[in-house]
Amino acid sequence: MSTLVIMAAGMGSRFGGIKQLTPLGPNGEIIIDYSIYDAITAGFDKVVFIIRRDIEKDFREVIFDRLAEKYNVSYVFQEMDALPEGFSVPEGRKKPWGTGQAVLAVKDVVKEPFVVINADDYYGKEGFVKIHDYLESGVSENGKYRFCMAGFRLGNTLSDNGTVTRGICSVDEDGMLTKVEETFEIYAKDGKAYGQNKAGEENCFALDDYVSMNMWGFTPELIDELEKRFPEFLSNIKEGDLKAEYLLPTVVGDLVKEGKAEVKVLDTDERWYGVTYQEDKPVVIEFFKSLDEKKLYPKLV
């Protein structure tokens, strides 16, 4: 058995509004509808959403109640005050603690291998098939956690309407992840991409470099590690930093560096689609219209 975990608690600050619930398909589908269909078709058995309490009513009305008639679905809450004993929310903080804390919220309902995705990203079919097959294909033979991720090409994940943040991946000769570097303000120019590291230094990248789009395949040990490492993250936040985030790529990168995990990068040439900016919306609508015309999906709503 394996599970699809959907992170749907994002604030959508650049887009405005609850973008995870915005209809984009020709029949009123939202991006999540396509992802769930692709995951179930690939072999995943159940779906767990991670949401905020303040969107629960809209979430149930727009998607959950109708999905519950077709699939094994449930949801959990990512809450800002869901902290280890001895920690409290700093005064002035306004949002939860990032993707690491989000996945930690499923600890009581996910006990099997799982794929985790963003609710507002369209990943295509290939990544779900490859991650499902990898998770089902065997167990670790070297004592390390056996994880994987869909490796998207940087050039297939950019927006024409502004810069983006991506995790730029380094991969060894065996296709294993060696490092993920969070890179900001990425844009394309003259056949290359440019972005800034955490120090604000600009670097140049090839458009076919691998990036993480938060499409990971994990075994349940990842949740144990997230829980174990969360207090250390909280302890190291600088005073006055109200935006620090506990991020999946950072935790995974630490596990790789420590020799506790290996992460197979599964190549996908799929083009990513998402609504980072309001101006992206017409492009995504046109794309889903083309899928409908090619009859690549049944009517999903």
What is the residue type of 52?
Answer: R
Give CA–CA dist 225/263, Å, rounded: 15
The DSSP line for 144-184 is SEEEEEEEEEGGGS--TTS-EEEEEEEE-TTSBEEEEEEEE
Parallel, antiparallel, or unpaired for β 73-77 and 46-51?
parallel
| CB distance 252 to 179 below 8 Å | no
* pLDDT for res 16: 46
Reference 6, options 71, 69, 90; nearest CA is 71
Residue 20 confidence (pLDDT)? 65
Secondary structure (3-state) at 217 = strand
> Can you state the percent helix, strand and coil of the chain, rounding each to 5?
30, 30, 40
Q: What is the DSSP string of 85-129?
A: TT--PPTT--S---HHHHHHTTTTT--S-EEEEETTEE--HHHHH
| Helix axis angle, 31-42 to 125-136, nearest 10° | 40
User: CB under 8 Å to 138, separation ≥6 — which residues?
Assistant: 146
What distances in angstroms separate CA 296 from CA 38, 45, 91, 204, 210, one per listed residue? 11, 21, 49, 36, 26
- Evaluate whether 142 touches 262 at the Cβ level (below 8 Å): yes
For tokens 């943040």, name the residue.
Answer: 165
- The number of CA neighbours under 13 Å toward the Cβ of 25 is 23
The domain ranges of the chain are 3-149+212-241+270-293
Residue 287: φ, ψ to 5°:
-65, -50
The Cα–Cα gap between 125 and 226 comes to: 28
User: What integer pLDDT is reported at residue 18 of this predicted model?
Assistant: 60
Structure token digits, residue 230: 């969360």
Q: What Cα–Cα distance (Å) separates residue 232 from each residue in 192, 236, 244? A: 37, 6, 13
| The predicted structure's pLDDT at residue 142 | 86
Judge residue 23's burial from the number of C-beta atoms within 10 Å of its C-beta, 0-12 exposed, 13-18 middle, 19 or more buried.
Answer: middle
Provide the residue-wise pLDDT of the chain in tens; the chain has 301 residues.
899 999 998 644 443 456 667 789 999 999 999 999 999 999 999 999 999 888 888 888 888 999 999 999 999 999 999 999 999 999 999 889 999 999 999 999 999 999 999 998 999 999 999 999 999 987 777 889 999 999 999 999 998 889 999 989 999 999 999 998 889 999 999 999 999 998 999 999 999 999 999 999 999 999 999 999 999 999 999 988 999 999 998 899 999 999 999 999 999 999 999 887 888 899 999 999 999 999 999 989 8
Query: Are 100 and 248 within 8 A, CB to CB?
Result: yes
Looking at the chain, the number of H-run helices and the number of E-run strands are 8, 13
Contact 281, 24 (CB under 8 A): yes
Task: Copy the structure tokens of residue 124.
Answer: 């295509």
For the domain bounded by 3-149+212-241+270-293, which CATH number is listed? Answer: 3.90.550.10
Angle between the 248-257 and 221-235 helix axes, to the nearest 10 degrees?
Answer: 100
